A and B are shown apart, each in its own frame.
Chain A
Amino acid sequence: MSYRYKIGCSLENLKGIRDFVRKSLKGHVVSEVELNEIVLALDEMCSNLMIHAHHCNPDHSLELSIDVPQKDKLIFEISDDGEMFDINRFSEPELGSLIQEKRKGGLGIRLVKSIMDEVEYLQRNGRNICRLSKRVG
């Protein structure tokens, strides 16, 4: 099974992304907690891309696809043609320093890395692809 969703880079559209993921994974992910984690990780990845690579320009778009190659494995790909925003290059801030600096960011990357099993980047047909994979069940 595979599912595909294309959306403009506006933060208002994050809700649509979450609904798409919930709907697509219905039947593939049983636990509500696990489903929420996956929704969260994809929301974080898409909002990071919208903000940092596309400066929330609604004319730019990104595409999310979900592939279920086997019962217990999910593969997500987020593709866009903006600047590459590789979360593996960002060090995760310490929780303590987040409080000190009152920074309202940096937590998202930590969430994604905790939730997903793998985060890798590749290029295909001139587009950036971020591929995330997760074992479930």
Chain B
Amino acid sequence: MVQIRRLQEEGAEILAVVGEIDASSSIELDLAIAKAVGEGVKRILIDCSALEYISSAGLGVFMSYIEEFRDKNIHMVLFGMKEKVANTFNILGLADLLHIRPSKQEAKKLINELSL
């Protein structure tokens, strides 16, 4: 139901989330982020352009890393969300707690600034 593709680009790790994240598939997202963190990645970009749906289980995965990332000086920026997906984040006000940008370019710019 969800596929996560991983690629490196200019020193940042991009996790492209393809499909739908719900209570049965959120573990895939969790494992992919945990793996990147375990490998010492400090800059994580989440490509949401092919993310069709996310439920609270998926939102919870992103939320669960906020503190760990703060402690370990890891930065994560999400980008490319469709309007319906962005709306799900906005209902809960998560746009204030997570870094979200419209485009990959803007996401890269932000993650570079955050990493300074």
Contact = CB atoms under 8 A, between A and B. Distances in A.
Given A102-B68, A107-B92, 14 more contacts: A11-B23, A14-B24, A15-B22, A18-B20, A33-B87, A36-B53, A43-B55, A47-B55, A95-B93, A98-B60, A100-B67, A104-B64, A107-B59, A111-B56
Interface string B70-88: 0000000000000111011
Main secondary structure of the interface of A (DSSP, over half): helix
Contacts, number: 87
A40 B20 CA distance: 11
Interface in A1-54: 11-12, 14-15, 18, 32-33, 35-37, 39-40, 43-44, 47, 51
Contacts of A37: 87-88, 91
Main secondary structure of the interface of B (DSSP, over half): helix
Classify chain B: how many residues form its interface, as a range. Answer: 20 to 34
Contacts of B84: 32-33, 35-36
Interface of B: 1, 20, 22-24, 26, 53, 55-57, 59-61, 63-64, 66-68, 83-85, 87-88, 91-94, 97
29 contacts: A11-B23, A12-B24, A15-B22, A18-B20, A35-B84, A36-B53, A36-B88, A37-B91, A39-B53, A40-B53, A43-B22, A44-B56, A47-B55, A51-B23, A95-B93, A95-B94, A95-B97, A98-B63, A99-B63, A102-B64, A103-B64, A104-B60, A107-B60, A107-B92, A108-B55, A108-B57, A110-B56, A111-B56, A115-B91
